[in-house]
Amino acid sequence: MEKGGLNIIMFSGSADKLIPLGVLSQTAANLGVPVRIFVTGWAMLAFKKGGPTSVNRVTKEFEDLAPVLMKGMAEMKAPSWYDMLKTAKEIGDVKIYACSLMAEALKMKNKSDYDPIVDDIVGAATFMQMAAGGQVIFI
């Protein structure tokens, strides 16, 4: 992977999207790859202070599989998406940024409005500069 590492634009706040965010972030951190996460859209609600650290809701197209997914994760004793992100931040160079535009629209303009796992509030241009030269994926 190039010098810019792994850059994830996180739009959805559903379990079927948050779980892969945790898995990819923790895997990259274990491999020594820097990770930058730009939280925007409905994902912002999963990162607000006092927000859910465990999400059971999935996107409409997979709602019938939600119970299977949650049961399977529990049986595997898999960590939650939130715990995977915490671990990724502990072991590697992982930063989480909230989108300033969505922060203003959702009246979540201050860093104190977010869970401590969020490092800062930045604009899209700032994030794109950070991501330059790296892999960018959208979840």
pLDDT digits (tens, 9 = 90+) for 25-72: 999 999 999 999 999 999 999 999 987 655 555 556 656 766 676 677
* Per-residue pLDDT at 2: 45
| Polymer length of the chain | 139
Query: How many CA atoms, within 13 angstroms, populate the side-chain half-sphere of residue 110?
Result: 3
Contact 1, 19 (CB under 8 A): no
Under the banding of pLDDT at 50, 70 and 90, the label for residue 16 is confident
Residue with the larger pLDDT of the pair 132 and 4: 132
What pLDDT, on a 0 to 100 scale, did the predictor assign at position 60? 60
Q: Please give the domain boundaries of the chain with CATH numbers for all domains.
A: 6-138 (3.40.1260.10)
Would you say residue 115 has pLDDT above 60? Answer: yes
